[in-house]
Amino acid sequence: PRVGPPRLSKAVAGAAVLLEREDGRVALAARRAGLGRVLAWCLPASDRGALAWPELGRLAGQSARAAMA
C-alpha cells in the first residue's frame, strides 16, 4: 500500500526516548502498551548513519530481548 512521504513526529507522553540523533530527532523510543512493550525504530531502513554505526546489530538484539522480557 502507498503510505506517502515520511512525516516529522515526536515521542508521545509516557514514552522513553532511548536513542536520539545529533539534531534531536528521535531514533528509538519505548513505551508500554496494554500488557506488552513497544519499541519504535524511527529511522528509515536505508539511513546511512544508522547503517554505518558498528553497534547497530547489538542494539537490535538487545532491543528485541527487552521487548520480549
Q: For residue range 35-47, list pLDDT tens digits in order.
A: 888 888 888 878 8
**Which H or E run contains 61?**
helix 56-68
> At a CB cut-off of 8 Å and minimum separation 6, what does 6 contact?
44
> DSSP of 12-35, one letter per residue?
PTT-EEEEE-TTS-EEEEEEEETT
- Closest alpha carbon to 30 in 44, 41, 20, 16: 16
- Whole-number pLDDT of residue 54: 92
Per-residue pLDDT at 7 exceeds 80: no
> CA 24 to CA 7: how far, in whole Å?
15
Question: For the whole model, what pTM was predicted?
Answer: 0.71
Residue-averaged pLDDT of the chain: 84
